Amino acid sequence: MNSGAAVTRWWWVRHAPLIQPAGTITGRLDTDVDLCDTGMIYGARKRLPLDAIWLTTSLSRTGRSAAALAPDQPTICVPDLTEQDFGQWQGRTHGEIWDSEREVAERFWRDPASNIPPGGESFAALCDRIHAAIHRETDAHAGRDIVMIGHAGPIRAALALALGLAPAGVLSVAVDHWHLFRLDHLRLDDGSGQWRLMGANIPPC
């Protein structure tokens, strides 16, 4: 890296826990969140930079989480950074799907990165969408801190981009609510760039 590098710092935080039965596939359903754990919220808030661009998605759980972290902070909605579309499985539990659609479920879980949930979107397709949006927002806010209040799938996709991994290579990464992922993009004078992982699934202090 040379002295002319412009560093764009991404601060990815997964939104607050969802209020729904355990094992429910949420996807793009606009589900409410639990904002009762003020200790977690305060701990996450302390880790974030003061002068930053804040991004959310079109799902209200990201906007509500951002407002809990920084009540007066303006946010920019970026729909392309939203969660994976699980189609007909959204709002249903894994157990229910396994019992009623065993063959379809087994086929999906043989390759969950490439296979498509009925009427939905594959994780590989999500990665393509997220990567394009990250490149665009990095260019738009070069040299800034970007706080992204996001979802588990897109956070894993961001890791795949930063580490040069195939989509299947990040599906096992834990992404907990209110936890932080730090990624830096370094743009050099010659126009090239590279990513640097600074931290993954960091709990609120």
Query: Among candidates 188, 190, 136, 191, which has minimal Cα distance to 161?
Result: 136
Tell which residue, 78, 81, 59, has the closest CA to residue 126: 81
- Report the chain's mean pLDDT, rounded to a whole number: 96
* pLDDT value at residue 4: 57
- Which amino acid type is present at position 57? T
Taking residues 11-26, what's their average pLDDT?
Answer: 97
Model confidence band, residue 106 (pLDDT cutoffs 50, 70, 90): very high
Burial class (CB in 10 A: 0-12, 13-18, 19+), 176: middle
**Which two three-digit tokens encode residue 131?**
């990567």
pTM: 0.95
Task: Tell me 190's DSSP state.
Answer: T
Domains delineated in the chain: 6-202 (3.40.50.1240)
Residues 6+ apart with CB under 8 A from 12: 148, 150, 155, 158, 180, 181, 182, 183
